[in-house]
């Protein structure tokens, strides 16, 4: 009898092993990025811990002494800045004042220029020229003065000039030729009143020499300083320099001034009137012409 065949024990087929994952974390190349990410965090934590320790222990950190030393200098910076701002504001104020003054001056010049170019300005200049010609004569010039004053633009005839012209307009003044003749007529009286130099004997000799010289028997004695000064006034008048003549006559000896008082008053008045008319014309003509 044959042995029955034993059924064989069936074994389950072995399941295939899963593929092992590569050990990435174990390799040095994989550890490097992680380390780089951890280092900044570790350093920040250490810094925070050190700061807490320092603040808790009351120990001043490095550089605190230098910061305290620099505090006064830092506080001085705002003060210097405030001072500088004050200086700039002051300079700006001066510049604004100067600009305002220049603007006002320019405005006045423009107004004067417009006045000159106006028909009234031209008529005023013509009237002033007529008055100047009338003043050169000895007759009164009241009508000429009134015409000029009526045509005067604002500010062209100031009060001092107006008073000088008005005070002599109704009477007039002697001409320069008349003043010259009147002074020459006063010369003998001035020479006779000149203080004599030296003692009585020298004065007597000088007087005798003068008398003999008058008839041509002897040379005339040299003129004294006072006589030369009197003659110098005559020379100024002959050259038409009335201002210089008045100046020299005023400087003559005080004993001669009573004789010269009337002449000096008339000559000084003529100088003042002529100067007033000339100043009026110059003020009007000096105005810039606006283009």
Q: What is the pLDDT of residue 181?
A: 96
Residue located via tokens 């800045």: 81
d(CA 201, CA 231): 26
Residue 45 clears pLDDT 70, i.e. is over it: no
Q: What is the extent of the structural domain holding 275?
A: 119-199+220-285
Q: What is the pLDDT of residue 179?
A: 96
Q: What is the pLDDT of residue 216?
A: 58
Q: How confident is the model at residue 27 (pLDDT cuts 50, 70, 90)?
A: very low
Q: Is 253 exposed, middle or buried (0-12, 13-18, 19+ CB in 10 A)?
A: middle
Tell me what the mean pLDDT of segment 256-271 comes to. Answer: 95
43 domain-assigned: no
Q: How confident is the model at residue 291 (pLDDT cuts 50, 70, 90)?
A: very low
Q: What is the pLDDT of residues 159-184, one digit of tens each?
A: 999 999 999 999 999 999 999 999 99
97 domain-assigned: no
Residue 23 clears pLDDT 60, i.e. is over it: no
Residue 66 clears pLDDT 80, i.e. is over it: no
Tell me what the mean pLDDT of segment 141-159 comes to. Answer: 91
Tell me what the mean pLDDT of segment 233-257 comes to. Answer: 94
62 domain-assigned: no
Eight-class DSSP state of 241: -
Q: How confident is the model at residue 65 (pLDDT cuts 50, 70, 90)?
A: low
pTM of the model: 0.54
Residue 118 clears pLDDT 70, i.e. is over it: yes
Residue 108 clears pLDDT 90, i.e. is over it: no
Q: How many CA atoms lie within 13 A of 168 on its CB side?
A: 25
Q: How confident is the model at residue 227 (pLDDT cuts 50, 70, 90)?
A: confident
Q: What is the pLDDT of residue 3?
A: 45
Q: What is the pLDDT of residue 77?
A: 60
232 domain-assigned: yes
175 domain-assigned: yes
Q: How confident is the model at residue 31 (pLDDT cuts 50, 70, 90)?
A: very low
* Number of CB atoms found within 10 A of residue 162's CB: 16
Q: What is the pLDDT of residues 184-223, one digit of tens each?
A: 999 999 988 887 665 455 555 555 555 555 555 555 555 6
d(CA 26, CA 37): 17
Domain count, the chain: 1
Cβ neighbors of 30 (< 8 A, separation 6 or more) are 24
Residue 50 clears pLDDT 80, i.e. is over it: no
133 domain-assigned: yes
d(CA 187, CA 170): 30
Tell me what the mean pLDDT of segment 253-271 comes to. Answer: 94
Contact status, residue 245 vs residue 260, Cβ threshold 8 Å:
no
Q: How confident is the model at residue 138 (pLDDT cuts 50, 70, 90)?
A: very high
Q: How confident is the model at residue 16 (pLDDT cuts 50, 70, 90)?
A: very low
């Amino acid at each position: 009898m044959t042995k029955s065949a034993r059924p064989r024990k069936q074994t389950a087929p072995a399941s295939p092993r899963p593929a092992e994952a590569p050990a990435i974390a174990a390799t040095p190349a994989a550890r490097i990025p992680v380390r780089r990410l951890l280092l900044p965090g570790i350093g920040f934590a250490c810094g925070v811990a050190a700061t807490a320790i320092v603040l808790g222990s009351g120990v001043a950190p490095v550089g605190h002494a230098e910061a305290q030393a620099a505090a006064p200098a830092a506080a001085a910076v705002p003060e210097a800045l405030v001072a500088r701002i004050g200086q700039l504001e002051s300079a700006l104020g001066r510049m604004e004042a100067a600009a305002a003054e220049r603007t006002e001056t320019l405005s006045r010049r423009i107004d004067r220029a417009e006045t000159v170019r106006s028909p009234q300005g031209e008529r005023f200049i013509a009237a002033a020229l007529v008055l100047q010609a009338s003043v050169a004569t000895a007759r009164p010039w009241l009508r000429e003065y009134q015409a000029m004053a009526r045509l005067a633009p604002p500010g062209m005839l100031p009060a001092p000039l107006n008073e000088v012209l008005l005070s002599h307009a109704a009477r007039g003044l002697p001409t320069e030729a008349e003043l010259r003749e009147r002074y020459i007529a006063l010369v003998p009286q001035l020479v006779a009143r000149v203080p004599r130099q030296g003692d009585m004997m020298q004065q007597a000799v000088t007087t005798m020499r003068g008398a003999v010289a008058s008839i041509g028997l002897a040379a005339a004695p040299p003129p004294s300083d006072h006589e030369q000064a009197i003659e110098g006034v005559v020379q100024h008048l002959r050259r038409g320099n009335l201002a210089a003549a008045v100046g020299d006559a005023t400087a003559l000896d005080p004993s001669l001034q009573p004789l010269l008082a009337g002449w000096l008053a008339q000559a000084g008045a003529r100088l003042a009137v002529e100067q007033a008319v000339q100043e009026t014309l110059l003020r009007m003509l000096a105005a810039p012409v606006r283009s």
